Structure 1
Amino acid sequence: METTCVIQKTQKKQKLSEKEDIDGNIKGLGSLPEEVLRHILSFLPTRDAVRTSVLSKRWEYLWVSIPNLDFDRYIYDKRKLVERELLMNFVDRALCLRDSSSVIKRFTLCCDELGDGFDVVYDSRIYSWISTAVNHNVQELNLDIRYFSLPSCLFTCKTLTSLYLNMWWNILKPPTTICFSNLKILTIERVKFSNEYLTQQLFSGLPVLEELKLEDCSWGNLKFVTISAPKLHSLSIFEMLDDDIERSSDLCLVMIVGDSLKEFYYKGLMSAEYCLYNSFSVEKAEIVTKPEYDRKPKNIARFLWNLLIGLSGVELLRLSSDMVKVLSNSPEFLPHMPMFNNLIDLIIVDKSVDLDCTVLLKILQKSPCLQTLNFSEGISLSLNREEDDMILDPVPPCFLSHLKWIKVGNYFGNENELFGVKILLENAVVLDKIIITCPVSCYKKFERQVKVFTQLFEHPRRSQNCKIILEFL
């Protein structure tokens, strides 16, 4: 009993001490200038910042001037209309109590289940929230809403530097006057473009834009659009790799004027024809497509050739093996392969590629300065070509002078894989190393590992300095 009493007394004393510490911390924070306190609150989620209003009278309205307001669906359950109303009232209160002179640096509204274009009351409140953010000189605006009509003031906001817009495949209806004079980052996701003139106005009113991302968007029935931003250095276009996205019968031609473009990334089904104009400044590029879903393979091949021509100045090029396959099925375009005089790094992704692929060989022939060659998912060579020494004939110039590093992923030790690696070793004159990555699950047996080592290390290498490195991942 005595021991129990002692423990209880100790716990009581400890709790008292903790309370004193908390009170002391509150008093310590309370002595700080309001500007510092607001800065501290800016690091909290908006909901938690609002909760600090109960700490004391001084804290009651500190939160109304915090620079970042993030209203996410975390407090909203679409199955409960009561919580829907709570969220709406919460946002209303946060904006109404805000000082008219306070700046909103970041405003995030993620409530795609609220606005639907049919509920006038809720849609008008969303309209009002966005307008209020613009009136408070918002700098970063993130909108994840199922909403049809955005306020006109948004499209002429002079303070906006970053805009994220996700409309869940609803139609974007911009006004006739558009000028984002300070917008540097623009991400448009799940948006349908319907009016050719207004869409053109949007992509022409971006004088200082540096980064543009279009993700899962639909060009609808548009025939022609030009993306022209004089300072654009990064463009990413990601389309859904299935048939869920709505497509028109006639493909839209999207002309990309890339005077300052440094990076270009495309992933999708080529649901539009993308042409790069005056894009010699592009240094990094990626093109990933899946031909098994394509409905017009000849058109797709032509689109891909046009993209390659526009990317002739790249230093790093990442291509999907499926894209290479599409082009190989349209040999009429081979004579039009551009020179890649600046290309240093070539990466083939997604699937194993056949070394005998005509397009791959053509790219290698046209890349005299290539230094690294990465087959991330593996390489193979048809068994009936085993004794054919003419596969790399003529030997690509880069194999004789520049190619220093080759990587082959997903190496299982099959004969067709080994044949492909042997061709590389026999023709790369200045190669420093070849890295073979093997799935560890396939090489658990020691005898299997020894066999792979022997096959690779005993084969003659054209480069006397070449190291063979095996990695088990």
Structure 2
Amino acid sequence: MKSKKTDFGPRDIISGLPEALICHILSFLPIEDAALTSVLSKKWRYLFAYRPNLIFDGLLHIQHRAVGNTEKELILSRFMAFVDRVLELQESCAINKFSLLCGHGVRPYFVTDSILKVLRRGVTELDLHVSLDEGRLPSEVFESKSLVSLRIESGNVYGIDVQGVSLPKLKTLFLHRVMLGQAEDCFHKLTSGCHVLEELFLLRVYSDFWNRSLSSNSLKRLTLYCLDSDQNPDHVSFDTPNLVYFNYSDNIARKYPKVNFASLVEATIYLAMTRDQYAHANYGNLVANATDFFRGICNVQILYLSASTLEVLTFCCKPVPTFNKLVHLTVETHTVGWESLPTLLNNCPNLETLVFEGLHHKYTIKCGDVDGCLCKFSGEVPICLSSSPVKFLKVQRFGENGIENQIELVKHFLETMPRLEQLTVHYVASIDDDVNKVSSQLKDFARVASPNCEIQVVSDHLN
């Protein structure tokens, strides 16, 4: 836009805008770039700092070039001084978001002091990516009356002494590699102090390893990753009646006193046995009992099961519960037997879509038994296939580790599954000729049980 000319020369239209609007415009720039406007005039000197969202990246000038220790210390010193200056200029202004990214070499007291300053000023969104050489983050981050969103990711924070949790407005909590307390059940403490929490992400969060329980009527989305040791927790409980999405990775617990997922729609489950449990796994006796856990999620509609979870269903769950509401099931089949699949599929009476994440069939002694596998080694068709309600069958990563056995399995499904309407195969081949050959071969198979089944072969290399 051209400036309007007057008798005194061109007029600065931007500077004539209200200061609040200028600050809003500057808020779309990285704060380091916005700070460059401070040299334009006295009016512009401090405007860059009067912004509701403060995002500071201490690694920005280090990670893209090789620097020595001396230069790194100088960069970090300037960075800390810049953050302190902006917070000083902003002392009377409200802060919506404060984001701080800094690695080794930043003084712990600087991080703590910055956090406490923005908490006192009623920050609503706090985002911390910090790696401290020593010291702890302040426990006040869990005692804020203003926070709506809290995210802490750490490389080596030694811990946060959580005496109490009081976050009455918090709706989203994300913690990654953080230690909370020493002995108490930190998961229970967190949820009991967040009464309107809707989204919770706990990834490698450490406290009392042996017990974990989550209880919340407001929680709608939960991601919990605890697979960091080769031990089984004692008690794991979930009382989350309004949860709709659940992503869970853990070793099998010895007990599941309460599992309440009354509203669950979608779940991704990575349950695993310990090495000792693997060593003692057999088809006669359970090496652990995860039945109560699976019974607690049986209302789910969309379910993803890892390969290790299929093994848990085989050796740690009898009987497998019925999933009456399940319409979409994805199973990962990498390097495991399929012994649990027949029972699982038999107990999904309304299943419409079945997805294999890889089609890696591992032969076991159960393959020779009817309803002991999905393959045709027994010479008879498993009931779970001959009476299957599945309409849409998908195979992801088809062709990994050879295709002969996988083609035979697909042919077996086409010959036995009576309600198939569509088979989609995602082929990983990198040569067009191979893709076209497999596509022709699959489409030439007789659809014995489902004569009208449409077959699609999808590949990045197939025109």
Same fold (TM over 0.5): yes
Aligned with residue 330 of structure 2, among 322, 335, 347? 347
- Find the aligned partners of 2:433 and 2:251 in 1 and give their Cα distance: 39
Out of 373, 383, 387, which is 1:393 matched to?
383
Counterpart for residue 288 of structure 1: 270
User: Superposition RMSD on alpha carbons, in Å?
Assistant: 3.3
Q: Is the 8 A contact 1:411 1:437 kept in 2?
A: yes
Residue equivalent to 1:335? 318
CA distance in 1, matches of 2:84, 2:307: 52
Specify whether residues 50 and 270 from structure 1 end up closer, same or farther in structure 2 by C-alpha distance, changes over 3 A only: farther
Q: What's the offset of the Cα at 1:362? A: 1.1
How far apart in 2 are the matches of 1:282 and 1:370?
16
Give the aligned partner of residue 81 of structure 1: 73
For 1:438 and 1:176, locate their aligned partners in 2 and report how far apart those are by CA, in whole Å.
54
Q: Who is 1:201 aligned against?
A: 189
Three-state SS of the structure 2 residue aligned to 1:186 is strand
Aligned to 2:371: none
Confirm or deny: 8 A CA contact 1:380 1:419 kept in the other structure: no
SS at match of 1:91: helix
Q: 2:257 and 2:36 mapped to 1: Cα distance?
A: 52
Distance in structure 1 (CA, Å) of the matches to 2:431 and 2:359: 14
Question: Structure 1 vs Structure 2: percent identity of aligned residues?
Answer: 27
Instruction: Provide the residue aligned with 2:82 in structure 1.
Output: 90
Query: Which amino acid in 2 is paired with 1:72?
Result: D
Counterpart check, 1:472 vs 2:443 = no
Distance 1:427 1:366, change over 3 A: same
Between the aligned partners of 1:57 and 1:191, the Cα distance in structure 2 is 44
More displaced 10-residue stretch of structure 1: 251-260 or 31-40: 251-260
1:259 maps to amino acid:
P
For 1:282, give the aligned amino acid.
L
- Unmatched tracts of structure 1, length 5 or more: 1-16, 116-121
The counterpart of 1:106, out of the listed 76, 93, 97, is 97
Match of 2:343 among 332, 355, 362: 362
Residues 1:142 and 2:127 aligned together: yes
Letter in 1 for 2:76: R
Counterpart-to-counterpart distance in 1, 2:195 and 2:410: 49
Match of 2:297 among 306, 311, 316: 311
Counterpart of 1:118? Answer: none
Q: Is the 8 A contact 2:425 2:457 kept in 1?
A: yes
CA 1:307 to 1:389, structure 2 compared with 1: closer, same or farther past 3 Å?
same
Contact 1:142 1:163 in 2 (8 A): yes
Q: 2:426 aligns with which of 425, 434, 437?
A: 437
2:110 is matched with which residue? 125
Q: For structure 2, which runs of at least 5 residues remain unmatched after alignment?
A: 369-374
Per the alignment, do residues 30 and 104 of structure 1 end up closer, same or farther by CA in structure 2, a change over 3 Å counting?
same
In structure 2, C-alpha distance between the alignment counterparts of 1:451 and 1:94, rounded to whole Å = 62
Distance change >3 Å, CA 114–CA 104, structure 1 → 2: farther
1:218 maps to which residue? 206
Q: Whole-Å Cα distance in 2 between the matches of residues 404 and 253 of structure 1?
A: 39
- Report the alpha carbon displacement of residue 28 of structure 1 after superposing the two structures with TM: 1.8
**Structure 2 match to 1:424:** 413
Paired amino acid for 1:213: F
Q: Partner letter of residue 317 of structure 1?
A: L
Asked if 2 retains the 8 angstrom alpha-carbon contact of 1:232 and 1:258, the reply is: yes
Letter in 1 for 2:95: I
SS of residue matched to 2:195: coil
Whether contact under 8 Å (1:169, 1:217) holds in the other structure is: no
DSSP 3-state at the match of 2:205: coil
User: What per-residue deviation string (whole Å, max 9, x for no partner) do you get for residues 360-400 of structure 1?
Assistant: 11110100000000113125485976464434136575x1x
| Maintained 8 Å contact 2:333/2:359 | no
- Deviation track 1:389-413 (CA, whole Å, cap 9, x = no partner) reads 434136575x1xx421001233337
Partner of residue 359, structure 2: 378
Q: Counterpart of 2:448? A: 461
Q: Secondary structure at the match of 1:259?
A: coil
Q: Assess if the C-alpha contact under 8 Å between 1:259 and 1:279 holds in 2.
A: yes
The equivalent residue for 2:372 is none
Task: Kindly indicate which of the two structures has a greater share of residues assigned to helix.
Answer: 1
State the Cα deviation string for residues 5-26 of structure 1 (Å, max 9, x = none).
xxxxxxxxxxxx99x9xxx999
- Superimposed CA distance per residue, residues 320-357 of structure 1 (whole angstroms, 9 cap, x where no aligned partner): 223213433x1xx4532111000000012363776xx2
Q: Tell me, in whole angstroms, the C-alpha distance in 2 between the residues paired with 1:129 and 1:178.
A: 20
Counterpart mapping for 1:252-331 below 5 A: 253-267=235-249, 277-288=259-270, 294-297=275-278, 302=288, 304-328=290-314, 330=315
* 1:191 lines up with 2:183 in the alignment: no
Change (3 A) 1:396 1:184: farther
- The one-letter amino acid of 2:90's match is R
Aligned AA (2:259): Y
Please tell me whether residue 45 in structure 1 is matched to residue 30 in structure 2. yes
Which amino acid is 1:160 matched to?
A: L
Paired with 2:377 and 2:142, the residues of 1 have a C-alpha distance of: 64
2:56 match: 71
User: Matched residues in 2 for 1:167 and 1:411: separation?
Assistant: 38
- Deviation readout 1:258-290 (Å, 9 max, x if unpaired): 111111112465699877621121110111357
The separation in 2 between residues aligned to 1:222 and 1:451, in whole angstroms, is 49
Change (3 A) 1:25 1:166: farther
